[in-house]
Amino acid sequence: MRTLIVSCSPKRRLSASGLLACVQRLSVRGTVRRLALRRRGDLPAVLEHLCQADAVILSMPLYVDGVPSHVLEFLREAETFCKENDLHPRLYCIANNGFIEGRQSEPLMRTLENFCARSGLDWCGGVGVGGGVMLNVNAVLMCLKLALLPVSLLLNRLLPDGSTPLDVLADTAINLLVLLALCSTILFFLVRQGRAVSAGADAGTHYTRVLIPSFIFIPMANVFFVIVSLFQGGLFRGWLAPKEIGQPNPEA
């Protein structure tokens, strides 16, 4: 079984699509190749490995309720390429979005299903994930907890009235388990899809989310996006910044 996993986020780092692709890789057996599709220059490499794949998993963000523009360009190229080379791999998808509900990715899934119908590929379903931003937050928090564990143990030895090493380890373990529990349904459906990919079967289309209540998630997301906007081009990511005539919009 030869599987090609393509991370389709245009971000260079800290993308939820890349994180989900890494997690999906752990549950897929056989020969697995991971590639990034961030811009036009990545198209030839992805098409080249498409020839050798029995299954393809596209991990991508939801942009304007649909497929990102650079992925649409890839789909146009791939349709012609697959027809010319008589390729019929199975196609799976992992779609994440910034909304709380994973079902927001349903239009994207339908786009890929229609692509398969036109190209002669086998559409085998996907996983729509809500709360993609919180996935990155959880991953960062888990890494910080692990990185700070030696510091906590050292401080415990230096402070006479500090907690015991066992208490420090137990506290860290509990925090990690809570963070994993928030993503438990996502992990479940990714493992389920990975098993279907390995077996050459249809995985079906499922929608899930980070298990954070909406009344907590929405204010946190609003604060996060305001902070990101201020640090990446000013308010609304530079939409209100003056531009010269003919100057391209960096966020387009």
Element (H, E) at 5: strand 2-7
CA dihedral for 107, 17, 188, 99, sign (positive or negative)? negative
Note the pLDDT of residue 250: 42
Give residue 196's identity as a one-letter amino acid code.
A
pLDDT tens digits for 208-233? 998 888 788 778 777 777 776 777 65
Note the pLDDT of residue 72: 94
List, in order, residues 6 or more apart from 20 with CB less than 8 Å away.
59, 94, 96, 129, 135, 186, 190
Regions of the chain where pLDDT drops below 70: 160-163, 228, 232-252
Note the pLDDT of residue 79: 94
Quickly name the fold that domain 2-134+185-237 has.
Answer: Rossmann fold (3.40.50)
pLDDT tens digits for 127-138? 999 988 788 778
Distances (CA, A) of 82 to 7, 43, 54, 85: 20, 14, 13, 5
Quote the pTM value. Answer: 0.83
| Domain parsing of the chain, residue ranges | 2-134+185-237, 137-177
Using CA atoms, how far apart are residues 45 and 24, in angstroms rounded to an integer?
21
Closest alpha carbon to 149 in 129, 171, 134: 171
The answer to whether the beta carbons of residues 53 and 89 sit under 8 Å apart is: yes
